[in-house]
Amino acid sequence: MKKKLKIKDISINLGDFFLSILSNYPPQLFDRKYIKESYNKEYYILKINEEYLDIIRNNIIIPPFSLPMICEPEEWSCKSYGGFLENKIIGEDIITGSKMHGQKMENKKPLYNAVNYLNSIKFCINDLLFNYLNNEGKFLLDEIKADDDLQRIITLKIS
């Protein structure tokens, strides 16, 4: 008799598959440590392999959704998905999160109007802040904990 797989089993197996790809040779980008605290509490800790930290820093790929657009975004409405151009295909709703939470919004028109207005404001780099952080304000970035160094590098690359 075959064992019927549950969604939870599939999620764990798929997650473990991807963890194995990233933590085995090659590339061994992450070190994976299994921790079992009790009968029902067990988990993995993933840490970036220090040997590859410079390679990761220099070759990091920033997903397009975190970057400003160079053209005007699509407008949001009750009948269309707005924002990034590819959202017409992806169909990511303006209100994100788990559908299991059951959050609903009855009158989205004011929300669409506000987001469309904010999206119509052109992106520009705050040169004063950027120059300050790279010069006399550098101490602010230096106060970020060493553990967050990669986050600091990513933030500056995006900006």
Confidence of residue 75 (pLDDT cuts 50, 70, 90): very high
| Summary mean pLDDT of the chain | 75
pLDDT in tens, 15-47: 666 667 666 666 677 777 888 887 777 777 777
With a cut of 60, say whether residue 148 has pLDDT above it.
Answer: yes
Q: Is 82 left (phi over 0), alpha (psi -120 to 50) or beta?
A: beta
Query: Distance from first CA to last CA of the chain, Å, rounded?
Result: 57
User: Rounded CA gap, 67 and 78, in Å?
Assistant: 25
Residue among 74, 65, 29 nearest 47 (CA):
29
With a cut of 60, say whether residue 155 has pLDDT above it.
Answer: yes
The residue with greater pLDDT, 3 or 50, is 50
Omega cis (within 30) before 27? yes
H or E element: which one contains 36?
strand 30-38
* Reported pTM: 0.44
With a cut of 60, say whether residue 11 has pLDDT above it.
Answer: no
Confidence of residue 113 (pLDDT cuts 50, 70, 90): very high
Highest averaged pLDDT of the listed ranges 65-79, 108-122, 124-138: 108-122
Q: Percentage of the chain with pLDDT > 70?
A: 69
